[in-house]
Structures are given as C-alpha cells and as structure tokens.
Chains A and B, each alone.
Chain A
Amino acid sequence: MLKFIVKKLLEIVPVLLIISFIVFTLVFVAGDPVALMLPDDATQEDINNLREAMGLNDPFIVQYGNYMLGVLQGDFGDSFRYNTAALPLVLERLPATLELAAASMVIAILIAIPFGIWSATKRNTILDLFVTGTSVVAKAMPNFWLGIMLILIFSVTLGMLPVSGHGTWQHLILPAITLGTGIGAEMTRLVRSSMVDILNQEYVRTAKSKGINRFFVVYKHAFRNSLIPVITITALQISTLVGGALITETVFSWPGLGQLLIQAVNTRDMAIVQASVFVIAILVIVMNLIADMLYRVLDPRIKY
C-alpha cells in the first residue's frame, strides 16, 4: 500500500508540470494583458516599456522558466485586476467551493444509493424505467436552468429559502441540490448497473436460494460490493463536480473559487486563472488518490 501511495505521489509531479505547461502556453498565446492595463490613449512607447518591465519581451522558454521558478515558491504572479498576489486570493475561496462540493456529493449519494438499489431490485419494471428515465433527464438538464428554476420556485414563490449568498445551512440547500442532481443521476445509473451485476452473481443467487432474508442479501452482501465501482465513479465525478461548481456558484453568487475564476477568465486576469487551474487540478488529483486508496481497501481482489 505504501509503495502504491509513493508511486502515485511521484506521478503527480509530471502531471503538474504538464498542466503548468499547457496553461502557460495558452496564456502565452492569449497575448499579454498590457493592452488592458494601460489607459486607452497609451502610446506604443508606454506599451513597450511596460512589456519590457514585465519581462513579456523575453523568449517563450525564458518566460516559462521564470514562471515555474515562481510557481515552485508558490508565486503565481499578481492579479492585475486586483493588484495582489493570485494564490492567496484563490486559496481564500477554496473552503466555500469545498463546502458546496461536499454538500452536493452528500445529496448525490443520498439520491443514488436508495434509487439505484431500488431500481436494480425491480429491474425492468415500470419503476425501473421511471428511475432510469428520471436520472437521464436530471443528467441532461443544464445546471444553470435548474438553479434559476429552483430559486424561482423555492425562494421567490414559496419564500422558503434564501436566494443566494453564503452563510447559513439554508443558503447551502439550493446550490447543493443544483449541483448534486446531475452527479446523483449519473451515480444512480451506476449503482443500479453494479447492483444488477452483483445480484446476478452466483453467491447472491445461492444465498437467496438458501432462503436467507432478501433484505439481508441485498443490503449486506450486494450493497457492499456495489460500493466499489461507485467509489471509482465518484472519483471520476470530482472533476465534473468542480466544473459544475463554476456554474452553480455563478447562479447563486456563492463566494467560492468559481465566481472568482469566471470573472478572472472574463477579464483575462491570467494569474488568477493559472493559480485556480493549478489548485483545482491538485484538488482533483488528491481526491482521486483518496478514492483510489479506498477502492483498494474495499476490493479484496486487488493485490499489491
């Protein structure tokens, strides 16, 4: 296990290098922000001076080298929009995004496990079809449409929950449902199919034929085993989850990374974009690693 963890951790280094390279190249191609930083009537000379001062006239590889030297020291450069270091700004926003992601995941799991098992045990009935259909519809619904509709129904019409913002648990409910629905739908489909596989397996059939309580069979034997692929898919969904958070946060003006990042992209504040992509990538990798480890722990078939 330890060997596996060390190996996985070592793999992160080249991955981060590649990510930094891709993002840096994109930003390089984007051109420099100088045009946006100077007043409208700046002369060509002003522009050149600023470019020179910012090291933007150096060749690509020199700029990348300098950039990476900074990154190694945790310095992603300054946000030109806010005139302050980018990384602290990004890290400051991370807890809110994690909070939303965690709550959404809980909602997704709360939807997926009961409905997935339910529809697997009633396979090919109207009920099953209903759950499958609903989950596909939920997955196909654009996030922002759902978010706006939830606000209109639960906040504006019914007055039950606050519209937007951050603070109390009430503020968390609508964004978490918005983000959790799509993921939950995907997970429902997965729980169902892995339950179907397992219910068809010999030992479950045997257990059934021996007259062991049906409830016990489903929830003890089958359920535990069906969790294994669920964990894998959960890990794969983390990237989707973070991506979806960008949109959900915009709809609910949730003070997370997404709100900051989207404004940064719109205003070409590339230091923040780079720092955010990095932080998100590390987050996704770490969560995947945890899931990978859980998976290995739960699945007795995998040997080290």
Chain B
Amino acid sequence: MNKKILSLLLFAFVLILSACSSDDSSNGEAGGSTTSTPENQSKDLTIAIGSDMLGFDIHDHSNTSTESIHQNMFDYLFKRDANDELQPMLADSYEIVNDTTLKVSLKQGVKFHNGDEFTAEDVKFSLERVAQTPTLKENPNYKQIKEVQVVDKYTVNIITFEPEPSIIHRLSRIGSGMLPKKYIEENGWDYFLEHPIGTGPYKFVEWVRDNKIVFEKFDDYYQGDISEWDTVTFRIIPENSTRVSELLTGGVDIATNIPPADWDRVNSNKGTSLKQEVSNRAIILKLRTTEGYPTSDVRVRQAIDYAINDGMLTEVALKGAGIPVLSIVGPGNFGHEPSLYNTFNYDLEKSKKLLAEAGYPDGFEMTLHSPKGRYLMDAEVSELIVGMLSQVGIKVKLEFMEWSNFVEMRNANKNKDAYMLGMGNSMYDAAYTADFYSAERNVGHTDYSNPKIEELLAQSKVNMDPTTREKQLQEIEKIAAEDTPYINLYIEEINVGVNDRIDFTPTSDEMLYAPYMKLK
C-alpha cells in the first residue's frame, strides 16, 4: 500500500516539475518568437547576430559588435555621416581654441531616457571616467585627455596633455558615449549596468545573456521620431546555419555574418537579399621580427608577401568579398594611401630569389597561429596560405586557437613567427593603426622597430595641420608596406542578409543602427 502511494507521489512530483517548466513557455517570454511570421506592417525589428555583446560598460570593451548594439541607446558628441565626414551629434558646434583645447557647445534640450537633461556635467563625467581609469579597456584611446572643464551648462573645454589632432575622431566612437552623471551617482555603477540609460533613440528593456537584447523606442528623443521601429530585438544565434535559416523563413529581419556558402540561397530566396559593404577591418599576418626568427630578415618577410596570392584568397575563400591591400588604412580613413589599396604583391620567382638571398634557398619552417571562426572564413584563408607558402619551400605549422586562448597567447607575447589578426579602426584615422608600428608597442611582442617610422610617428602625433599630418601618415604606410612588419592581406566585406521589407545597406563601421533600417 505504502509503496503505491509513494510511487504516486513521486510521479506527481515529476509531473509538477515538468508543469513548472512548461508554465515558463506559456507566458511567452521570448520576444523573438512572435516574429516567426512577420506581417509587413510589423513595427518590431529583429536582428540576428552571432555573438552576445559584452555588457553596458561602454568604456570597458573594445568590441565592435558590442558598439554596434550600443549605438542605438548611447549617442556620441560627433558622428560620421554617410560620406565619412564627422558631424556634430550631441555637440552643437566646436572650436579649436588652441593646440590642447577643444571647446564644444552642446545641443540643448537633449534628454536621457529617465527624463534628466543632458548637460556639460555629463560630458565631464563620461570622458574623465575613461580618461582617468587605467584599468578600463578604452583608456589607451582617451588617456590623452587631461581634463574636461565645464564652462557653462552647455559648454565644455576638452583639454589634452599634448596637441591631439585626432580628438574629434576619438569623440565619435566606442568609449565616448555620453553617460548620465546624476543617475549613476544616485544609483551606483552596478545599478547602471543592469538598468542602463543613455540619450539615444532607443531605450533598454531587457538583456537575456547569450540569448537576446531588447530595446524600445525613446519617445523624447531630441532628434524627434527618427526611427520607424517600436521595438528592436537583437537575437544572439551563434550557429551560422540557424541564423541563415531564421532569415530565410522570416524569423528575423536582418542577419549578420552570412557565410559565403549561403549567399546564393539568401539572394535566390523569395523575400531576402544579401547586402555587402567594404568594412574597415583588414586581415593581416603579424610577423615576429625578434632576432633569431627567420622573419627578422626583411627579405624573408617580403618573400612571404610575394608568395601569398591575396587575390586568390579573396576570390576562393571569400568569394570576392574582400579587397587585397598593402596597407591597413582603407578609404574613408584619414591618412588613406590610394596606391596601397586594391593591390597586392604576388611573384613566386621573386619570392624564391628573396629567400635565397636571405640564406634560405630551401625554405624554412615557421608557425602560424590562426583564430577560427572569428573573422570571415579565417580558417580557410589560413589553410590556403599554408598551401601557398609551401610552394616556395616554407613549411608552415598551422596552429588553430580558440579565441580566448588566442588572446592570451597574444597578451602573453607567446606569439611565434606569425599570427593572423583582423585590425579594425573605429577612429577612422590612420594615427590609430600607425601607432601599432611603434617600437614601444612591440617590445617583447614582435620587437618591430623602424627609426624612420618612429620619427614620422612622433611628428604626426602632435601635428595639428591636417595636410602635413596626412602626408606623414601616408609615408608611414608606404614604409610599412615595404618593410612588411605585417603581411597585409585584404580588407573584409561585411555580409548582411536583409528581409526585403526593409531597406538597409550596412555601413563600413559595422554598426547596426536601427534608424538607418527603413521600412519599404
């Protein structure tokens, strides 16, 4: 008897357990679920992305995809327009008072999502936090700022330690979003991270980690009703084929990072198309120039450059979605050098000759560290490179690393002969990328140093004259293309699948700014 009762109880327990969990499903908590059959009139936008954002500490990441989400809720003082010109955003106008002082007057009547007005105090708070906290990931890009002086409620003076020619560029990117001082001081930083507010067109609703981020329209936006969407949901779908399938079936409106294999499917499918745009991210091989490595010899580095057929990499692995380059700095960046764009070195005979001159007529062995799944077709590109280098006798030991191991390898200077890296430039100023050639940055890492580059870097850093500064940066790019501390492979294209009810062309900065996505 007892046993029967007990068994009944146990079954009941199991049933309750499963009932509990199905309760969760019935209250329809998933925002993305309702969009599986979107009607043309739906004002809800769903965007599928491959990886989650890192959080709402806008100063403590240097992650482009996180910024691409943040832009919907945090505004910058300046913003790049469609022609890559910097225009005032929260700033109303600016004036370069002297070499180290930038005077910015702010727009009036700008509201944070909680209704507080945006003022000079908020600018001071936001910029000084990132400029003065060395543990923040964006600190290196803002530590040039000495202080922000509040002139009056709507005017600030941004003072830098040295003349800072790129200051406007710096104020239009990751880490320069404007934060609500009063709200944060009253509620604490941790509260802000859970309940972030900004001045942007969308306000935060919810974030389910590794699943979705939901925003809704901010009615009091200072630019008025600039966006057509009532809600914007970012769904995190790491699996490529699932993301593509969601796009094809109308489950999501926009899907990022469509792998080349699916481009034809997306285009031939009724109701979706692929949109491509050249990005601002170059894929490079960073070579070690430390004494003792074969790659310390410039002839060996050039031989590698001449042995790799960049054109074939972009044609075969990227199906044309890449532009071979000899410089990281693409068009749209300050300091772009046109002669190094859309071109590459490829000459097997020359490569062999250079190797022979350097004392390696039969080639040598080297290690290439490569990430996998981080950049478009990165693993395939690495494998192709291994094949190409074998043609001149260079035997490459290819080591794929999972991303966090890869970052650790890099940070611990355990890099060997070469590693593959994608270098973006959210400042759109060659000063940002050129600085990576500096000897100081490379001590113990690649140990690269070039006295001519050092000299030009030192001059350009404090040069407030745009014309000569541009020349200096272009000169640095040309020297680097010759001296090859990196093998510059190609600039990637962005591949986004878009539902035909929406008009959207991705921008080179890879941002997912909802006001740019228009209902047709």
Chain A residues at the B interface, C-beta cutoff of 8 Å: 1, 31, 35-36, 38-42, 46, 50, 81-84, 89, 95-96, 98-99, 102, 106, 148, 151-152, 155-156, 159, 162-172, 250-253, 255, 259-260, 263, 266-268, 290, 293-294, 297-298
Contact = CB atoms under 8 A, between A and B. Distances in A.
Contacts of A84: 190, 193-194
Nearest to A50: B135
Contact of B408 (A36, A41, A255): A36
B54 A81 contact: yes
A260 B10 CA distance: 31
Nearest to B411: A35
Given A81-B54, A83-B57, 8 more contacts: A31-B408, A89-B209, A167-B30, A253-B236, A255-B210, A255-B211, A266-B404, A290-B14
Interface residues of B, number: 62
Contact of B134 (A1, A46, A102): A46
30 contacts: A35-B412, A39-B62, A40-B140, A40-B410, A40-B411, A83-B57, A89-B209, A95-B21, A98-B17, A98-B21, A99-B22, A102-B18, A148-B239, A151-B242, A152-B245, A156-B249, A162-B33, A165-B235, A166-B29, A167-B29, A167-B33, A170-B36, A172-B25, A250-B239, A251-B239, A255-B212, A259-B211, A263-B52, A266-B403, A293-B10
A167 B135 contact: no
Contacts of B248: 156
B452 interface: no
Contacts of B62: 39-40
B32 to A, nearest CB: 5
Contacts of A294: 7, 10
B19 to A, nearest CB: 9
Contacts of A290: 10, 13-14
Contacts of A268: 404
Contacts of B212: 255
Interface core residue of B62, B194, B248 (most chain A CB under 10 Å): B248
A38 B22 CA distance: 42
Contact of A260 (B135, B209, B407, B411): B209
A152 B20 CA distance: 31
Nearest to B373: A266
B260 to A, nearest CB: 18
A82 B211 CA distance: 13
Contacts of A35: 407-408, 411-412
A163 B245 contact: yes
Contacts of B55: 81-83
Contact of A39 (B13, B140, B210, B235): B140
Given A82-B55, A167-B29, A253-B238, A102 B17 contact: yes
Interface string B418-455: 00000000000000000000000100000000000000
Contacts of A253: 211, 235-239, 242
B268 interface: no
Contacts of B17: 98, 102
Nearest to B211: A255
A255 B402 CA distance: 23
Contacts, number: 161
B140 A266 contact: no
A106 B14 CA distance: 12
Interface in B1-42: 3, 6-7, 10, 13-14, 17-18, 20-22, 24-25, 28-30, 32-34, 36
A279 B404 CA distance: 24
Contact of A162 (B36, B208, B404, B412): B36
B136 interface: yes
Contacts of A170: 36
Nearest to B22: A99
Interface of B: 3, 6-7, 10, 13-14, 17-18, 20-22, 24-25, 28-30, 32-34, 36, 51-52, 54-55, 57, 62, 134-140, 190, 193-194, 208-212, 235-239, 241-242, 245-246, 248-249, 251, 402-404, 407-408, 410-412, 441
A171 B146 CA distance: 54
Nearest to A164: B242
A168 B13 contact: no
A36 B135 contact: no
Contacts of B236: 253
A160 B21 CA distance: 24
A260 B21 contact: no
Contacts of B193: 83-84
A172 B33 CA distance: 11
B292 to A, nearest CB: 23
A45 to B, nearest CB: 10
Given A152-B245, A155-B249, A167-B28, A36 B211 contact: no
B289 to A, nearest CB: 19
A268 B212 CA distance: 21
Contacts of B137: 38-40
A173 to B, nearest CB: 12
B52 to A, nearest CB: 7
A95 B30 CA distance: 13
A171 B33 contact: yes
A97 to B, nearest CB: 9
Contacts of B13: 290
Nearest to A293: B10
B384 to A, nearest CB: 25
B300 to A, nearest CB: 27
A223 to B, nearest CB: 16
B407 A36 contact: yes
A156 B7 CA distance: 44
B402 A266 contact: yes
Contacts of B246: 163-164
Nearest to A253: B237
Nearest to A34: B411
Interface core residue of A39, A83, A163 (most chain B CB under 10 Å): A163
Contacts of B7: 294, 297-298
B251 A163 contact: yes
B25 A166 contact: yes
B499 to A, nearest CB: 14
Contacts of A1: 6
Contacts of A98: 17-18, 20-21
Q: Which 4 A-B pairs have the closest CB atoms?
A: A167-B33, A167-B30, A99-B21, A255-B211
Given A102-B21, A253-B238, A297-B3, A267 B33 contact: no
Contacts of A152: 241, 245
A93 to B, nearest CB: 8
A206 to B, nearest CB: 25
A168 B241 contact: no
B248 to A, nearest CB: 6
